[in-house]
Amino acid sequence: MAKKVAFMQGNEAAAQGALYAGCTFFGGYPITPSTEVAEVMSIELPKINGKFIQMEDEIGAMASIIGASLTGAKVLTSTSGPGLSLKQELIGYACIAETPCVIINVMRGGPSTGMPTGPSQSDVMCAKWGTHGDHAAICLVPASVQELFEETVRAFNLAEKYRMPVMIMPDEIIAHMRERIVFPEPGELEVINRTAPSVPPEQYKPYDTKFGDVPPLAAFGSGYRFHVTGLNKAEDGFPTTKAALVQAEEERQVRKVDANIDDIVTFEEYMLADAEVVIVAFGSTSRSARFAVNEARKAGIKAGMFRIKTFWPFPDKQIKALAGKVKAFITPEMNLGMCTGEVKRCAEGKVPVVGIFRVDGEPINPGQILDKIKEVK
Amino acid sequence: MSGRYELRFSGAGGQGLILAGVIMAEAAAIYDGKQAVQSQSYGPEARGGASKSEVIISDGPVDYPKATVVDALLALTQEACDKYSHDLKEGGVLLVDSDLVKRLPQGNFKTVSFPIINTAKNEVGREIVANIVALGAMVALTGVVTKESAEKAVLSRVPEAFIELNKKAFQTGYDKALAASK
Amino acid sequence: MAFDYDKYLRPNKLPHIWCPGCGHGIVMKGLIRAIDTLGLEKNNTAIVSGIGCASRLPGYLDFCTLHTAHGRAAAFATGIKMAKPEMNVILVGGDGDGTAIGGNHFIHACRRNINMTYIIMNNNIYGMTGGQFSPCTPTGAKASTTTYGNPDPAFDIAKLAIGAGATFVARGTAYHANQIDKLIVEAVQHKGFSVVEILDDCPTTYGRRNKFKSVIEMMNRLKEVTVPIKAAEKMSPEQLQGKILTGVLFKEERPEYTAEYAKVIERSKGAK
């Protein structure tokens, strides 16, 4: 049977990806340019006995999905810059309470209200450093409509597997453009479900490290009674100020990602075998970069691209390895140097890292990147 | 850049230009077996303001999703024509509404004009299908998608009750553009 | 036979954090008796709170308990109730948590009329942070941030809830301990969003600053300033001057949110 194809917008594909992953709850608040995700979920969720709720504000939306997640549901919210700022309080809550949830943040210009309909890539640092305190972060940056669907599925898998909030950050261009999408059949993409507790209720502890760095999370209403708090907690979920316990719990929450970087980090290597000039790009900017690399190759320049698909954790290992081989990195991005700083950190001074920055609401075009390739080659 | 064909549908918010672009891209990507990307930029206004919808059609993967040099431009308002005609390619096509666009850009491209909105209103019967009249005209002038595929794409996007109206709009635009470009 | 509170408590989480003379423990006992009367199943009951002294209450109770962030209890609870409408959801918290930082979530939970019960312990102060004025601190009162007297007018929580659309609103006091469970029972039985305000005391951070000589004096004041709504019907406006009404203040039937959403689910099945 021929697979189902459609010509679809990125935001719509993200919503379809969420449904494919088994999402049954969406709590949101309207904000440009992510609202189409909420609109599709409001139409599709009730058809499968799922729940959609439009909350009174961004914080409430985040709260509602954490509450729903504690009942065992796979949950989603979608937002954009100003909403992401508001949600940070409870993103931190989801981190410390280790509650799986997925946040789609469509990147528009900022700070503040910024440029609501203009593309940007300036929220990537907010994905890691937005909420206070030490915590792990996972952030995916897809570059096509198809990939936005697939990465949304992966975001749910990672959220459930590592018991934490996971962010998907398409820029406005990826979220709003339309492309042909081929829908995977059920079963074709891996779908990971939450691990249920293997012990009876009387022995259950929500952060029981006997089961490793990601202990199973029971659902409210399933026969397991437990306590959840945003305070530093012990294995039994109750608040503690015992220094050793707090230290151990904090370290575990960061370690559960740090120790599994190879399972989480994904990337694409394009024409890197002999590349001397390497563009490190992500999201829609990587499409301009690919165009520029192709043109550079036609002109006999050994250019290539390292495309970041997982922004957090950052692909340190891969970029450090490249830094030992290439002559220069070029880092085009729709912000004033967020990825550039990370690449510089990984390059450790071995090679120059040349940024191309745009924050005027316009995409970085292939010509800009090609000019820079010619300049640094 | 070979094999890459770039179209821009521009005018005012509310004229249905984004939909026209979507249908053009869908004709290429779903019915003609090509690759296509449609994107748009718009202001805060739901109605009015300058709005554009861009479509890139290619035999291979479309990397950069926005226009670089435009092969074919539709402008339904003077503001859109002034704002969006600067990167029209040499030898490209410019289609304008002759009632609304009086100042034409200078350049080495083919300009075709006819009263698009007026045609929708008075010949087809409803102003609301002006975007489909324009789409028919763009299909005729560019030949970048087949007429059959474009018609299929139009009909897949409109409600049952409006199929005949849209068919007529598309055909009228197609014919008028050919007549006007002779 | 004495009532057995222990079977609803988490004994190893006691003693509680509340100061001697604080009314929160009286409210917790009232809630336990109400739950016992209602026969709510522990596994199927979520108790949700925000931040503050009163919000520590869920930790002591052996149910599905969720201690959320400051002010957010109603929004978290809405997620639980929507995802699993068959669960009983009870919210507890203080006046600052519920009506200041959580004010928006509070009024929208009222508006939706979602079937949950919110018990607000109103002690007129932010106790946990050391006695700053709350939206429920009386004008002129002293707090650590109103050394020269509070310039702010205070919220009437019950009126706020009624105005926002709550369909059951009651008020009791920590003094009238035996009335608390009766009000909570009626609130939980009501289908819709129910609010039970319990006038409470904070001897440590409010009483001390506002010339209450003892906890007994604070408790006596709760008795003196309140009038049961039934008794008030027979009183003149002059007699009611400065009095606060207690009892079930408001009750109406209106479509409940999760039931309305169930209809959305039905309607969606017919859609393309």
- What number does CATH give the domain B4-180? 3.40.920.10
Q: Does A236 touch chain C (CB under 8 A)?
A: no
Per-residue pLDDT of chain A (377 residues), as tens digits, is 578 999 999 999 999 999 999 999 999 999 999 999 999 999 999 999 999 999 999 999 999 999 999 999 999 999 999 999 999 999 999 999 999 999 999 999 999 999 999 999 999 999 999 999 999 999 999 999 999 999 999 999 999 999 999 999 999 999 999 999 999 999 999 999 999 999 999 999 999 999 999 999 999 999 999 999 999 999 999 999 999 999 999 999 999 999 999 999 999 999 999 999 999 999 999 999 999 999 999 999 999 999 999 999 999 999 999 999 999 999 999 999 999 999 999 999 999 999 999 999 999 999 999 999 999 98
What span, in angstroms and rounded, lies between the C-alpha atoms of C244 and A330?
Answer: 70
Q: Does A358 touch chain B (CB under 8 A)?
A: no
Confidence band for B2, pLDDT divided at 50, 70 and 90: low
A71/C78 CB distance under 8 A: no
Q: What is the pLDDT of residues C212-254, one digit of tens each?
A: 999 999 999 999 999 999 999 999 999 999 999 999 999 999 9
For A44-74, letters b (16+ CB in 10 Å) and e give bbbeeebbbbebbbbbbbbbbbbbbbbbbbb
Closest-CA residue of chain C to A76: C79
CA distance A186 to chain B (A): 22
- Asked if the bond preceding A111 is cis, omega within 30° of 0, the reply is yes
Closest-CA residue of chain A to C271: A47
When CB atoms are compared, the residue of A117, A180, A287 closest to B65 is A287
What span, in angstroms and rounded, lies between the C-alpha atoms of C142 and C150?
Answer: 6
- What number does CATH give the domain C7-269? 3.40.50.970
Cβ proximity of C127 and C205 under 8 Å: yes
pLDDT at C272: 63
- Domain boundaries along the sequence of chain C: 7-269
Within 8 A of B44 by CB-CB distance, chain A residues are 116-117
CB pairs under 8 A between A and B: 59
pLDDT at A88: 98
Residue ranges in chain C modelled with pLDDT below 50: none
pLDDT at C20: 96
Q: What is the pLDDT of residues B31-65, one digit of tens each?
A: 999 999 999 887 666 677 788 999 999 999 999 99
Within 8 A of A6 by CB-CB distance, chain B residues are 30
Q: Does B3 touch chain A (CB under 8 A)?
A: no
Q: Does A363 touch chain B (CB under 8 A)?
A: yes
> Domains, chain A, ranges and CATH?
5-182 (3.40.50.970), 201-262 (no CATH), 267-376 (3.40.50.920)
Confidence band for B1, pLDDT divided at 50, 70 and 90: very low
pTM of the model: 0.97
Q: What is the pLDDT of residues B116-168, one digit of tens each?
A: 999 999 999 999 999 999 999 999 999 999 999 999 999 999 899 999 999 99
- Domain boundaries along the sequence of chain B: 4-180
pLDDT at B182: 81
Q: Hey, what are B62's tokens? A: 């479309």
Q: Hey, what are A197's tokens? A: 């507790």
Beta-strand pair A115-119/A108-109: antiparallel
B38/A5 CB distance under 8 A: no
